[in-house]
Chains A and B, each alone.
Chain A
Amino acid sequence: MKIPTVLLSVVISGFLISPAVADCGKVTIADMNWNSASLIANVDRFILQHGYGCDAELVPGDTMPTGTSMVEKGEPDIAPELWSNSLKAAIDKGVAEKRLRVAGKSLTDGGEEGFWVPQYMVDKDPSLATIAGIKAKAKLFKHPEDDNKSGFYTCPAGWNCQISAGNLFKALKLKDDGFELVDPGSGAGLAGAIAKAFTREEAWFGYYWAPTAVLGKHKMVKVDFGSGADREEYMTCTTSAECENPKVTMYPPSLVETVTTESFARRATEAFGYLQKRGFKNAQMNELLAWVEENQADGNIAMEYFLKNHEATWQPWVSTEVAARVKKALAGL
């Protein structure tokens, strides 16, 4: 009885998927709550499922909870777009302890952070593209609750960028020009504040990051601090809550990586190989995000659009057999 059962299972598994990838098993992928991460997560799910025979499932995630849970509990298996600057220590520790493995960069240019002003303001007054111009015209940027002060929209409470934006606010001595930090409370609050300013062409000055649909849709200019990016200062002081004497520096491009658990990297070497190659350029991602926004698409539909229309991009990430399997599955959508 034993041999036929084994044979049967081999035949069945061979029938469904190629035996070489049959050990991928159940894979959980963190679907972060912003569009680019959700798109990448959906692409990963589809390719892992149909190309590598994994039983892939999306689970809701966010940078901090997902990163922490991956280090502490080994769950979920894959974080497709982790802005790893924000939890560098935890990831380094996880890698050193052989709990995590960094597969590669999901945004090959790295993420772009900075202080931004709307393009329409710079068009009217080019000096606003520099921090000196903004300090000189501080009165333009009215504080939402106090007409006598100027407002700088900082990063929402609890996000790591709150520390860096706060330190740069201090380093740039914006307070001396009447600016005050305005905490938008949440990502949605910050995006809502930007959208409000743009619908009425009001003044706005604050922290944001790219690639995002918000910056794809609302054209903004990154304010030049005239200092260049000092990565050393940024890593040791700007991003640290204990930084006593912050200096001015532009944000260096942040590392945006695909991070997996060690157990996934071990049990699914081929799928891990795909994750090592899978990466987007910022220009391309901005374009995709603009499409997503334009069509109010969710991650799943964006994935379908991307896989169907940008074959040249994703094909080099996988082998020809995998590509064929993915394309077959795509045709069935």
Chain B
Amino acid sequence: MAAARPDTPYEMEMVMAVENWLTTFPEMERADLIAIRKALDAGYRAFSRSYGDLIESLFDPLLYFLVWFEKLLLSTPWWLVILIVVGLVYGASRSPKLLVGVAVSLLLIGYFGMWENTMRTLSIITVCTILSITLGIPIGIMMARSDRTQAVVTPVLDIMQTMPAFVYLIPVVMLLGIGKVPGVIAVVIYAIPPVIRLTNLGIRLVDKEVLEASMAFGATRRQRLWGVQMPLAMPTIMAGINQTIMMALAMVVIASMIGVKGLGQPVLKSITNQYFTMGLFNGLAIVTLAIIFDRVSQAYARRTQRHLQGNAHG
């Protein structure tokens, strides 16, 4: 042990420095860290001050559409909405059992006084789903066609799925204010990854030999995509769409934390006041919407698959 003992004050200092460094993490100076945090915050504020109005006006068409669609659903008589939904359900699934189930659950929602909020949620979720699908599928196709795009997009999707919503919600609120548009952005950010991932996966999983066969027949790139890859990838893509819808509905409560009206607000209210029954009812209404969306899209996918298979054999 004697050999290890430091002899000069300098060595002593060295040993202490090393010990400090070994036992406590060599952190950045607090002052520096605060300087970085403050500089970035100030930078964001300046950005929001100079470009906020412009960005807000870019989203105006979306806002008008959202407001219009919500008003449309709210002003349509309830029986007409139920008839239309039931019609869509039957058209997609051709299943009388599903039809009755959907009609009964919608009637129950109305009977328990949640009709207006359900319509609000239905309107925003429909828009979010349409947006996610129209943006997600092309991105998924691009990912499937280029490994480099995949390498760039995958980590972005990871961030979108795991970053706690409030981290990006409040900056979005500072940019666009509270209400529907930031709500839609938050929901789409969270809900779009599955449809992108599964579109990519579905196309990549298409059998190479089938592709080669289509090339042998002289199919162009476009024909290969729409005639071979997309139809064969459809079951996987539909699973992605289905997951996207589910995740969008799960975000309803978070979206209501930045002022989106709908079923999320009574849920929040019941959380803060421990109104368990109220929370359960509104939660169940969200579940009902999810089940309607899910069953309809699943049934539709199954029917189109059968149709495709029929073609293949015929």
State the A residues within 8 Å of B (CB). 62, 64-65, 68, 144-146, 156-159, 182-186, 188-189, 192-193, 195-196, 199-200, 295-296
Contacts and interface: CB of A to CB of B under 8 A. Distances in A.
A185 B37 contact: no
Contacts of A145: 63, 67, 179-180
B274 A186 contact: no
Interface residues of B, number: 38
B273 interface: yes
Given A182-B178, A196-B48, A196-B52, A188 B170 contact: yes
B273 A188 contact: no
A199 B268 CA distance: 28
B265 interface: yes
B173 to A, nearest CB: 4
Nearest to A192: B173
A196 B173 contact: yes
A186 B268 contact: yes
Nearest to A195: B174
Contacts of B38: 296
7 contacts: A159-B272, A182-B178, A185-B178, A188-B173, A189-B178, A189-B257, A200-B52
A185 B34 contact: no
Interface of B: 34, 37-38, 41, 45, 48-49, 52-53, 63, 67, 166, 169-170, 173-180, 256-261, 264-266, 268-274
Contacts of A295: 34
Given A157-B272, A189-B178, A296-B37, 9 more contacts: A146-B67, A157-B266, A158-B271, A182-B179, A183-B265, A184-B258, A188-B173, A193-B173, A200-B49
Given A199-B45, A296-B37, A157 B174 contact: no
Given A145-B67, A185-B256, A157 B178 contact: no
Contacts of A186: 257-258, 268
B268 A158 contact: yes
A193 B177 contact: yes
B55 to A, nearest CB: 12
Central interface residue in A64, A68, A192, by most chain B CB within 10 Å = A192
B265 A64 contact: no
B21 to A, nearest CB: 20
A189 B258 contact: yes
B34 A193 contact: no
Contacts of B271: 158
Contacts of B34: 295-296
Given A64-B272, A189-B178, A296-B37, A183 B52 contact: no
B273 A64 contact: yes
Given A64-B274, A145-B180, A200-B48, A185 B265 contact: yes
